Amino acid sequence: MKTHTLIRFCLVTILVVAADTAGAQTATLGCPAGQAVQGVDFATRRFVCVSVVSSAQLAALQTQLSQLNDTMNTLRAALGAEATARQGAGRALQAAVAALQTGNALVRALVPYVSVVPAPLNGVTGPHIVFEGVNVHIRSGSGATVDTGKYVTVYGRQGSKWVIIRDTWNSDSPPSQ
Protein backbone atom coordinates (compact mmCIF):
# COMPACT_ATOMS: atom_id res chain seq x y z
CA MET A 1 0.00 0.00 0.00
CA LYS A 2 2.91 2.37 0.69
CA THR A 3 4.14 1.82 -2.90
CA HIS A 4 0.70 2.66 -4.29
CA THR A 5 0.60 5.91 -2.25
CA LEU A 6 4.12 6.80 -3.38
CA ILE A 7 3.20 6.36 -7.06
CA ARG A 8 0.04 8.47 -6.57
CA PHE A 9 2.13 11.20 -4.88
CA CYS A 10 4.68 11.21 -7.74
CA LEU A 11 1.92 11.37 -10.34
CA VAL A 12 0.18 14.26 -8.59
CA THR A 13 3.54 16.07 -8.28
CA ILE A 14 4.18 15.64 -12.01
CA LEU A 15 0.69 16.92 -12.84
CA VAL A 16 1.12 19.99 -10.62
CA VAL A 17 4.52 20.79 -12.14
CA ALA A 18 3.08 20.35 -15.64
CA ALA A 19 0.12 22.62 -14.89
CA ASP A 20 2.39 25.30 -13.39
CA THR A 21 4.68 25.35 -16.43
CA ALA A 22 2.02 25.05 -19.17
CA GLY A 23 2.46 28.67 -20.27
CA ALA A 24 6.13 28.15 -21.11
CA GLN A 25 7.32 28.70 -24.69
CA THR A 26 8.78 25.22 -25.03
CA ALA A 27 7.19 21.82 -24.56
CA THR A 28 6.81 20.81 -20.91
CA LEU A 29 6.82 17.13 -19.95
CA GLY A 30 5.64 16.05 -23.36
CA CYS A 31 2.92 18.68 -23.92
CA PRO A 32 3.36 21.56 -26.36
CA ALA A 33 3.44 25.18 -25.19
CA GLY A 34 -0.03 26.43 -24.32
CA GLN A 35 -1.14 22.98 -23.11
CA ALA A 36 -1.06 21.26 -19.74
CA VAL A 37 -1.10 17.64 -18.64
CA GLN A 38 -4.65 16.50 -17.87
CA GLY A 39 -3.72 12.94 -17.06
CA VAL A 40 -1.69 9.93 -18.05
CA ASP A 41 -2.66 7.23 -20.54
CA PHE A 42 -1.00 4.25 -18.91
CA ALA A 43 -1.70 1.98 -21.89
CA THR A 44 0.41 4.15 -24.24
CA ARG A 45 2.60 5.61 -21.48
CA ARG A 46 1.86 9.15 -22.65
CA PHE A 47 0.47 12.29 -21.07
CA VAL A 48 -3.03 13.45 -22.03
CA CYS A 49 -2.67 17.17 -22.84
CA VAL A 50 -5.34 19.88 -22.82
CA SER A 51 -5.30 23.49 -23.97
CA VAL A 52 -4.84 26.12 -21.30
CA VAL A 53 -6.16 28.94 -23.52
CA SER A 54 -9.18 30.62 -21.99
CA SER A 55 -12.49 30.72 -23.83
CA ALA A 56 -12.11 34.50 -24.24
CA GLN A 57 -8.66 34.03 -25.78
CA LEU A 58 -9.99 31.27 -28.03
CA ALA A 59 -12.89 33.51 -29.15
CA ALA A 60 -10.45 36.34 -29.91
CA LEU A 61 -8.24 33.99 -31.95
CA GLN A 62 -11.27 32.71 -33.86
CA THR A 63 -12.31 36.30 -34.62
CA GLN A 64 -8.81 37.10 -35.89
CA LEU A 65 -8.79 33.96 -38.01
CA SER A 66 -12.17 34.88 -39.49
CA GLN A 67 -10.94 38.41 -40.28
CA LEU A 68 -7.79 37.04 -41.90
CA ASN A 69 -9.86 34.65 -44.02
CA ASP A 70 -12.12 37.53 -45.10
CA THR A 71 -9.08 39.66 -45.99
CA MET A 72 -7.53 36.78 -47.91
CA ASN A 73 -10.78 36.22 -49.87
CA THR A 74 -10.96 39.95 -50.67
CA LEU A 75 -7.35 39.93 -51.87
CA ARG A 76 -7.99 36.82 -53.99
CA ALA A 77 -10.96 38.53 -55.64
CA ALA A 78 -8.93 41.69 -56.27
CA LEU A 79 -6.08 39.63 -57.70
CA GLY A 80 -8.50 37.83 -60.02
CA ALA A 81 -9.95 41.15 -61.22
CA GLU A 82 -6.45 42.55 -61.74
CA ALA A 83 -5.40 39.47 -63.70
CA THR A 84 -8.49 39.76 -65.92
CA ALA A 85 -7.86 43.46 -66.52
CA ARG A 86 -4.21 42.85 -67.33
CA GLN A 87 -5.11 40.07 -69.77
CA GLY A 88 -7.46 42.45 -71.58
CA ALA A 89 -4.82 45.17 -71.62
CA GLY A 90 -2.27 42.64 -72.84
CA ARG A 91 -4.50 41.62 -75.75
CA ALA A 92 -5.03 45.30 -76.66
CA LEU A 93 -1.29 45.92 -76.48
CA GLN A 94 -0.58 42.91 -78.71
CA ALA A 95 -3.08 44.22 -81.27
CA ALA A 96 -1.46 47.66 -81.16
CA VAL A 97 2.00 46.16 -81.62
CA ALA A 98 0.75 44.12 -84.59
CA ALA A 99 -0.75 47.28 -86.14
CA LEU A 100 2.50 49.18 -85.60
CA GLN A 101 4.50 46.36 -87.13
CA THR A 102 2.22 46.40 -90.18
CA GLY A 103 2.49 50.20 -90.37
CA ASN A 104 6.24 50.04 -89.89
CA ALA A 105 6.53 47.55 -92.75
CA LEU A 106 4.64 49.98 -95.02
CA VAL A 107 6.78 52.92 -93.90
CA ARG A 108 9.98 50.91 -94.38
CA ALA A 109 8.82 50.06 -97.92
CA LEU A 110 8.35 53.79 -98.66
CA VAL A 111 11.63 55.00 -97.09
CA PRO A 112 13.76 54.61 -100.25
CA TYR A 113 11.23 56.63 -102.30
CA VAL A 114 9.76 59.30 -100.00
CA SER A 115 11.38 62.06 -98.00
CA VAL A 116 10.27 65.24 -96.27
CA VAL A 117 12.20 68.41 -96.99
CA PRO A 118 11.34 71.19 -94.53
CA ALA A 119 13.53 73.79 -96.25
CA PRO A 120 12.62 75.77 -99.38
CA LEU A 121 12.85 73.83 -102.66
CA ASN A 122 13.28 75.62 -105.98
CA GLY A 123 12.27 78.89 -104.35
CA VAL A 124 9.12 77.45 -102.75
CA THR A 125 9.00 77.39 -98.96
CA GLY A 126 8.68 73.97 -97.30
CA PRO A 127 7.80 71.58 -96.04
CA HIS A 128 7.80 69.35 -99.12
CA ILE A 129 7.06 65.67 -99.57
CA VAL A 130 9.48 64.36 -102.14
CA PHE A 131 8.94 61.15 -104.15
CA GLU A 132 12.06 59.88 -105.91
CA GLY A 133 12.49 57.07 -108.41
CA VAL A 134 8.83 56.06 -108.49
CA ASN A 135 5.82 56.35 -110.72
CA VAL A 136 3.16 58.47 -109.06
CA HIS A 137 -0.56 57.72 -109.49
CA ILE A 138 -2.98 60.41 -108.44
CA ARG A 139 -6.44 59.00 -107.74
CA SER A 140 -9.73 60.66 -107.09
CA GLY A 141 -11.87 59.85 -104.07
CA SER A 142 -13.69 57.24 -106.13
CA GLY A 143 -10.44 55.34 -106.63
CA ALA A 144 -10.10 56.12 -110.32
CA THR A 145 -6.64 57.19 -111.50
CA VAL A 146 -6.70 60.86 -112.49
CA ASP A 147 -3.14 61.09 -113.74
CA THR A 148 0.15 59.16 -113.84
CA GLY A 149 3.62 60.43 -114.50
CA LYS A 150 7.26 60.58 -113.58
CA TYR A 151 8.94 62.58 -110.88
CA VAL A 152 12.66 63.24 -111.03
CA THR A 153 14.99 64.90 -108.56
CA VAL A 154 18.58 65.74 -109.44
CA TYR A 155 21.07 66.31 -106.62
CA GLY A 156 24.35 68.16 -106.84
CA ARG A 157 27.14 68.62 -104.34
CA GLN A 158 27.69 72.07 -102.92
CA GLY A 159 30.58 72.04 -100.49
CA SER A 160 30.08 69.11 -98.14
CA LYS A 161 26.31 68.85 -98.70
CA TRP A 162 24.12 67.34 -101.40
CA VAL A 163 21.40 69.73 -102.53
CA ILE A 164 18.57 69.48 -105.03
CA ILE A 165 19.56 71.06 -108.34
CA ARG A 166 16.53 70.08 -110.42
CA ASP A 167 13.12 68.80 -109.42
CA THR A 168 10.43 68.00 -111.99
CA TRP A 169 7.16 66.16 -112.59
CA ASN A 170 5.98 64.99 -116.00
CA SER A 171 2.47 63.75 -116.61
CA ASP A 172 1.90 60.71 -118.84
CA SER A 173 -1.36 62.28 -120.05
CA PRO A 174 -1.37 63.94 -123.48
CA PRO A 175 -1.21 67.70 -123.40
CA SER A 176 -4.57 69.37 -123.16
CA GLN A 177 -5.72 71.11 -126.32
Supply the pLDDT for residue 3: 54
At residue 74, does pLDDT exceed 90?
yes
Percent of the chain residues topping a pLDDT of 90: 11
> pLDDT value at position 25?
42
Q: How far apart are CA 130 and CA 124, in angstroms?
A: 13
| Comparison of pLDDT for 128 and 19, the residue scoring more | 128
Work out the average pLDDT over 20-49: 71
Mean pLDDT score across all residues of the chain: 77
Of 27, 61, 31, 62, whose CA–CA distance to 49 is shortest?
31
pTM, two decimal places: 0.33
Domain range annotation of the chain: 37-111, 113-171
* pLDDT tier, 7 (very low <50, low <70, confident <90, very high otherwise): low
